[in-house]
Structure 1
Amino acid sequence: MESQLHFDLPVKPALGRGDFFVSPANALAVAMIDLSESWTGGKLVLSGPDGAGKTHLAHVWATASGAQIIAARDLPAADIPALACHPVAVEDVPEIANDPQAQEALFHLHNLVLAEGHRLLLTGRAAPRHWHLTLPDLQSRVEGTHHVALNPPDDVLLAAVLAKLFADRQITPKPDLIPYLVTRIDRSFDAAATIVTRLDRAALAEARPLTRALAVRMLGEDSADCDTT
Structure 2
Amino acid sequence: MMKTEKILIVEDDASIARILCDHLRKEGYSVTWASTGKEGWEDFKADEYDLALIDIMLPEMDGFTLCKTIRLESDIPILIVSAKTESDSKINGLDLGADDYITKPFSLEELSARISSHLRRFRRYMNMDESKALQYHDGLVIDFQKEVVYLMGEPLLLTSKELELLFLLAKNPFKTFSKSELYEHVWQQEDLNGNNTITVHIKGLRSKIQDEAKTAKYIQTVWGVGYRFIGEIIS
Q: Higher RCO, 1 or 2 (CA under 8 Å, sep at least 6)?
A: 1
Give the TM-score category using the shorter length: under 0.3
Greater helix share, structure number: 1
TM-score, reference length from structure 1? 0.25
Greater strand share, structure number: 2
TM-score, reference length from structure 2? 0.24
